[in-house]
Homo-oligomer: A and B are copies of this chain.
Amino acid sequence: MSRDSSSRTLVLLTGGTGGAKLVLGFHEETAPEDLVVVCNTADDSVVHGLHVSPDVDTIVYTLAGLIDPAKGWGIHDDTFAVLEQIQRLGGETWFHLGDRDIATHLTRTRLLTEGQPLSRVTAALCQALGVKSTVLPMSDQRVETRLSTSAGELSFQEYFVKARWQPEVLSLRYRGIETCGPSPGLLEAIHGAALVVVCPSNPATSIGPILAVPGVRAALRETPAKVAAVSPMVQGRSFSGPAHKLMATLGVEASVTGLAAAYRDFVDVLVIDTEDRGLQPAIEQLGVDARATSIRMDTLDDKKRLARELLQFSV
């Protein structure tokens, strides 16, 4: 447990919307250049031929001050002229892409086609948008969450956006995960961090893929840094989205106790909501330290306060 006390790097593992709230809190409470935000890419999709990285984009737009705060994704005040015309041309429009957002995807797709890895493309987008933090896609290789559901096999976006997470999910897998590798610098960042935070994102479809990238889970177990996780649910229900519905695919119950069971091999402390404080003993029986606080992040002040509380765990 000896740590390099000079490190101020905070490594945040995150999906989109929920995790992005906490990422913004850290961004406001620390030096942005000390943040390394590791994003799930297993929801990446090809939409109208464009490579869309929903979680990466949500994080980049959040850090760039471009995010649409009402929706939690996309660019604020974006227009939809392209999509409206695509509809007129008979194309599918269930995946809502704004015009400025499409510029991101066009640029990313062009750079990927030119042979640049996703991590370098993401760094270029960050630089162009003035983002000082490091945003790392979990892998430069393509990984895709596939859900076996009551409505057949679906990609995550088909399940989440098109089917509005109504089908029953029987199982899921991360296609391509075995042969992918972590983005350059990812394992090193975990090892050298002052603190690692697993953000309140879906454990099955956002955090799960990151943990399944070869080397990542072992690095989290072995890092000298403390690893904290923030629950994405209260009293067995997620704040938004289907996290609670998908806990069974991890073989655990839909509760913070189930979460502790899923993360117990690498998490030092699990931050749960005060409403769940009755489960603290059950979590600690699993060998995970449990801290109860308000984990709702409705306002910027909520986000900053939660980030400050987590910073207390850093070296």
Binding site for B on A (CB under 8 A): 48-50, 78-79, 81-86, 88-91, 99-100, 102-104, 106-107, 109-110, 113, 124-125, 128-129
A-B contact pairs, 11 of them (CB 8 A): A49-B49, A50-B106, A81-B81, A81-B103, A82-B100, A84-B100, A85-B99, A88-B103, A88-B128, A88-B129, A89-B125
Give CA–CA (A88, B106) in the complex, Å: 13
| Nearest Cβ on chain B to A150's Cβ, whole angstroms | 29
CB-based closest 5 A-B pairs: A85-B103, A81-B99, A85-B100, A49-B110, A86-B103
B residues in contact with A88, CB < 8 Å = 103, 128-129
Q: Quick one: closest B residue to A110, CB to CB?
A: B49
Residues of B within 8 A of A82 (CB): 82, 99-100, 102-103, 106
Is the CB–CB distance between B110 and A89 below 8 Å?
no
* Identity of the chain B residue whose Cβ is nearest the Cβ of A51 in the assembled complex: B49
Nearest B residue to A112 by beta-carbon distance? B49
Closest to A127 in B: B90
Contact A107 B86 (CB under 8 A): yes
- Closest Cβ of chain B: how far from A56's Cβ, in Å? 14
Smallest CB gap from A79: residue in B: B81
**Interchain CB contact under 8 A, A49 and B100:** no
A88-B128, A89-B125, A128-B88 as given contacts; A49 in contact with B81, CB under 8 Å: no
Contacts of A84 in B (CB 8 A): 100, 103
Closest residue on chain B to residue A91 by CB atoms = B107
Given A85-B99, A85-B103, A104-B89, answer yes or no on A110-B48 (Cβ-Cβ < 8 Å): yes
Minimum CB–CB distance for A123 against chain B, Å: 12
Q: A89-B103, A89-B107 are in contact. List 18 more A-B contacts (CB 8 A).
A: A48-B110, A49-B106, A49-B109, A50-B106, A78-B81, A81-B100, A82-B103, A82-B106, A85-B99, A85-B100, A85-B103, A86-B103, A86-B106, A86-B107, A88-B129, A90-B107, A91-B107, A91-B110
Interface contact A89-B128, CB-CB below 8 Å: yes
CB distance from A45 to the nearest CB of B (A): 13
Could you tell me the distance between the alpha carbons of A79 and B49 in the complex, rounded to whole angstroms? 22
Knowing A99-B99, A113-B49, the reply to whether A104 touches B78 (Cβ < 8 A) is no
- Whether A102 contacts B104 in the complex (CB less than 8 A), given A125-B89, A128-B88, A129-B89, comes out as no
Q: Which of A89, A102, A104, A129 has the most CB of B within 10 A?
A: A89
- State in angstroms the CA–CA spacing of A78 and B79 once bound together: 12
| A124 CA / B84 CA spacing, docked (Å) | 17
A49–B113 Cα gap in the complex (Å)?
A: 8
Task: Kindly identify which residue among B85, B86, B89, B104 contacts A85, using a CB–CB cutoff of 8 Å.
Answer: B104
A82 to B84, CA, bound (A): 14
Chain B neighbourhood of A90, CB < 8 A? 107, 124, 128
How far, in whole Å, are A269 and B78 apart by their CA atoms in the complex?
53
CB of A79, distance to nearest CB on chain B (Å): 5
In the bound complex, do residue A48 and residue B106 qualify as a contact, i.e. CB atoms below 8 Å apart?
yes
Chain B residue contacts of A81, Cβ below 8 A: 78-79, 81, 99-100, 103
